[in-house]
């Protein structure tokens, strides 16, 4: 039998993905997980932000391991497209590994639009060593851009990846998907390469 903490994490991730973070209370999570104690979330995780970190961290650890393995594979990476692949493929490979149904892509999309918790989720995702290295290498291969434009394009990159993955996860769940995670990775890499090399006004 699964332990209570793992059950609560899975239940919270699913409810947040379907209903949005703000719409789901700790009590609803406890009840959906079959827990009679309404303070069980606070007992196991502390604050709401700590609960979010606990959901995000295992996913980010797997993505970090995948990206680190890719970076250490010895493959030649000279172009921006190569480095865009290093950014994207560990993410889509992780989502594919979750199977169907899965909830994390939709959870991430919901969490990154919640004003109170956006920074918690994005900080966890962007602060890993492999992500920082990959973003630096992408920046080195882009035209000289003002700092504000670089920041905007980093934000655009995050939003495009998060929300396109959420759309595919939803379509796979609904049985309406017309593409795969691998093809979605290719589409993201092409789009992000164009985004980062587009001239700035």
pLDDT by residue for the chain (201 residues), tens only, comes to: 469 999 999 999 999 999 999 999 999 999 999 998 889 999 999 999 999 999 999 999 999 999 999 999 988 899 999 999 999 999 999 999 999 999 999 999 999 988 888 888 888 888 899 999 999 999 999 999 999 999 999 999 999 999 999 999 999 999 999 999 999 999 999 999 999 999 998
In whole angstroms, what is the distance from residue 55 CA to residue 184 CA? 24
In the chain, the number of structural domains is 1
Give 73's DSSP letter: S
Residues 6+ apart with CB under 8 A from 145: 153, 200
Residues 6+ apart with CB under 8 A from 4: 33, 35, 40, 44
Q: Report helix, strand or coil for 102.
A: coil
Q: Which residue has the tokens 């939709």?
A: 106
**Whole-model pTM above 0.85?**
yes
**Is residue 190 a part of any domain in this protein?**
yes
77 occurs within a structural domain: yes
**C-beta of residue 138 within 8 angstroms of C-beta of residue 84:** yes
**pLDDT computed for residue 126 by the predictor:** 84
* Residue 148 maps to a domain: yes
Rounded distance between C-alpha atoms, residue 180 and residue 172, angstroms: 9
Give a yes or no: residue 21 inside a domain.
Answer: no
Range of 180's domain?
Answer: 56-197
């Amino acid at each position: 039998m699964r332990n209570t903490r793992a059950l609560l994490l899975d239940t919270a991730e699913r409810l947040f993905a379907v209903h949005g973070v703000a719409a789901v209370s700790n009590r609803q999570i406890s009840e959906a997980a079959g827990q009679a104690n309404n303070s069980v979330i606070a007992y196991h995780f502390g604050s709401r932000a700590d609960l979010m970190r606990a959901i995000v961290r295992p996913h980010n650890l797997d993505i970090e391991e995948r990206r680190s393995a890719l970076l250490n594979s010895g493959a030649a990476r000279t172009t921006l497209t190569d480095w865009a692949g290093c950014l994207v493929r560990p993410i889509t490979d992780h989502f594919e590994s979750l199977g169907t149904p899965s909830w994390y892509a939709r959870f991430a999309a919901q969490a990154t639009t919640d004003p109170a918790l956006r920074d918690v989720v994005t900080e966890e995702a962007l602060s890993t060593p492999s992500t920082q290295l990959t973003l630096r290498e992408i920046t080195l291969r882009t035209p000289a851009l003002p700092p504000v434009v670089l920041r905007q394009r980093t934000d655009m990159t995050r939003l495009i990846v998060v929300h396109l993955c959420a759309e595919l996860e939803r379509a796979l769940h609904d049985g309406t998907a017309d593409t795969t995670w691998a093809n979605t990775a290719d589409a993201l890499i092409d789009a992000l390469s164009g985004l980062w090399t587009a001239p700035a006004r």
